[in-house]
């Protein structure tokens, strides 16, 4: 029945002179996820993208577009000419397709040349639907469903269902960030939120074989594949971290293991970000969650980088993070029982308020430049796609 999928975007329409750039990126991202459906055609107008379904099931198209950031909502719609009788018939089709016993009509008329105003359309269509559906009644306050009618220059669109989209900004409009991704719950959620604000991601994972198994790396690869479903392909950089951790354990006080380890990670991340063209680091840190995530620790760790460090989860409770991880499909992967390098090297009594001068003194016993050089010369780089996920 439905000939069109009406796609709404919200925040993009507020971008002024840059709006066309955001709109074009949104359309490009939509085409990416719909690429194999060759019959589809799209065109945009203010606040809307219209997908001409060409006989393809609207549910199939909507399901794919649910992962495209920038889309606020979608509606399968019947498109008609600007003819009142055709609009009436379409409204009846839409009403009968939706379950319930009460309804109201809600018309919008961006095309002011159409002879009826929005209130007049509501009255005419409401009367027509009442006449042709004897078991229905109008309820303008709490209807079972709303028959929406949009009168635009090129035609009319009639629909009832509104399918929520992910919102946010199209991936790619705000630049690239380097996501420090472990195998845990938090960092994939941070990556998701970064993409929701328009970031393209490169992942960076620190791998400590043989202290961590091949399965711990596979877990991170699978997490990146899930994230790729929301933003296209993701490059994952895997950094060998074993020798750095061994050197820290040999040379540094136990209370500073985590702090110095994170400082070394940030140094590596800074170099990888420069290679990848990333303008910021993105982490899954939540304030006060563990020793390295106190404000004192963050301040000391941040001193080794000049790049912005984005922490979208900084004020989130763990339960909130878990809820979002479940909803985006990363939670079950994150809880696989394969530990990452961070969890294996946590001391019994880590410093929660490390002082910079003491950390720097402890760190001076490391051959920092040589350790970084060896790590950066042995990076493994993968490109991951959502359809690789089994």
Task: Using pLDDT thresholds of 50, 70 and 90, give the confidence band for residue 221.
Answer: very high
Q: Is 293 annotated as a binding residue?
A: yes
Note the pLDDT of residue 12: 78
User: d(Cα 188, Cα 194) in Å, to the nearest integer?
Assistant: 10
Task: Using pLDDT thresholds of 50, 70 and 90, give the confidence band for residue 351.
Answer: confident
Indicate whether 66 and 126 sit together in one domain: no
Task: Using pLDDT thresholds of 50, 70 and 90, give the confidence band for residue 341.
Answer: low
Is 227 part of a structural domain of the chain?
Answer: yes
**CATH code where residue 224 lies:** 3.40.50.620
More confident residue, 40 or 94: 94
Indicate whether 183 and 160 sit together in one domain: no
Number of domains in the chain: 3
Indicate whether 4 and 135 sit together in one domain: no
Is 312 part of a structural domain of the chain?
Answer: yes
Residue-wise pLDDT tens digits, 222-253: 999 999 999 889 999 999 999 999 999 999 99
Question: CB neighbours (10 Å) of residue 318?
Answer: 12
Task: Using pLDDT thresholds of 50, 70 and 90, give the confidence band for residue 342.
Answer: low
Q: Is 180 annotated as a binding residue?
A: yes
Indicate whether 121 and 184 sit together in one domain: no
Instruction: Provide the residue range defining the domain that includes 328.
Output: 176-388
Reduced to 3 states (helix: H, G, I; strand: E, B; else coil), residue 383 is strand
Note the pLDDT of residue 390: 40
Task: Please identify, among 143, 164, 185, the residue that sits at the C-terminal boundary of a domain.
Answer: 164
Task: Using pLDDT thresholds of 50, 70 and 90, give the confidence band for residue 13.
Answer: low
Q: Is the per-residue pLDDT at 291 higher than 60?
A: yes
Residue-wise pLDDT tens digits, 15-35: 777 888 999 999 999 999 988
H-helix or E-strand spanning residue 352:
none
Q: Is 206 annotated as a binding residue?
A: yes
Residue-wise pLDDT tens digits, 38-62: 668 898 887 889 999 988 999 999 9
Task: Please identify, among 76, 111, 126, the residue that sits at the C-terminal boundary of a domain.
Answer: 76
Averaged pLDDT, 338-347 = 64
Q: Is 192 annotated as a binding residue?
A: no
DSSP letter (8 states) at residue 87 = H
Q: Is 313 annotated as a binding residue?
A: no
**DSSP track, 274-337:** HHHT--EEE----TTSSGGGSHHHHHHHHTT--S-EE-TTTT--HHHHHHHHHHHT-HHHHTSS
Query: Cα-Cα-Cα-Cα dihedral of 14, 19, 25, 31, to 10°?
Result: 80
Q: Is 241 annotated as a binding residue?
A: no
Is 375 part of a structural domain of the chain?
Answer: yes
Q: Is 198 annotated as a binding residue?
A: no
Indicate whether 68 and 85 sit together in one domain: no
Note the pLDDT of residue 388: 45
Indicate whether 23 and 2 sit together in one domain: yes
For 48-68, give the secondary structure using H, E and C: EEEEECCCCCHHHHHHHHCCC
Q: Is the per-residue pLDDT at 347 higher than 90?
A: no
């Amino acid at each position: 029945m439905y000939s069109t999928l009406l796609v709404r975007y919200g925040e993009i329409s507020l971008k002024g002179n840059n709006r066309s750039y955001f709109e074009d990126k949104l359309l490009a991202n939509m085409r990416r996820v719909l690429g194999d459906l060759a019959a589809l055609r799209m065109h945009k107008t203010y606040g809307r993208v219209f997908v001409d379904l060409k006989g393809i099931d609207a549910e199939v198209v909507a399901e794919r577009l649910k992962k495209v950031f920038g889309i606020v909502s979608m509606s399968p719609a019947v498109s008609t000419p600007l003819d009142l009788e055709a609009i009436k018939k379409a409204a009846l089709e839409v009403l009968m397709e939706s379950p319930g016993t009460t309804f109201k009509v809600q018309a919008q008329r961006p095309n002011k040349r159409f002879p009826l105003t929005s209130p007049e359309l509501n009255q005419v269509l409401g009367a027509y639907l009442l006449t042709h559906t004897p078991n229905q009644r109008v309820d303008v306050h709490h209807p079972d469903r709303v028959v929406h009618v949009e009168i635009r220059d090129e035609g009319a669109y009639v629909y009832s269902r509104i399918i929520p989209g992910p919102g946010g900004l199209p991936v790619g409009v705000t630049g690239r960030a380097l996501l420090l991704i472990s195998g845990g719950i938090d960092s994939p959620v941070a990556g998701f939120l970064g993409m929701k604000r328009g970031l393209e991601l490169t992942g960076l994972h620190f791998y400590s074989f043989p202290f961590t198994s091949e399965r711990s790396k596979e877990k991170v690869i699978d997490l990146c594949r899930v994230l790729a479903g929301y933003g296209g392909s993701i490059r994952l950089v895997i950094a060998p971290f074993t020798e750095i951790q061994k050197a820290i354990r040999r040379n540094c006080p136990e209370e500073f293991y985590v702090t110095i380890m994170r400082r070394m990670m940030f140094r590596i991340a800074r170099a990888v970000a420069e290679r990848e063209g990333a303008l910021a680091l993105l982490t899954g840190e939540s304030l006060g969650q563990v020793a390295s995530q106190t404000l004192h620790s963050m301040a000391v760790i941040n001193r080794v980088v000049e790049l912005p460090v984005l922490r979208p989860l900084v004020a989130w409770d763990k339960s909130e993070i878990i809820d979002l991880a479940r909803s985006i499909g990363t939670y079950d992967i994150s809880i696989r029982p394969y530990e990452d390098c961070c969890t294996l090297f946590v001391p019994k009594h880590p410093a929660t308020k490390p002082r910079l001068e003491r950390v720097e003194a402890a760190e001076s016993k490391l051959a920092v430049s040589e350790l970084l050089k060896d790590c950066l010369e042995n990076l493994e780089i993968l490109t991951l796609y959502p359809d690789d996920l089994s």
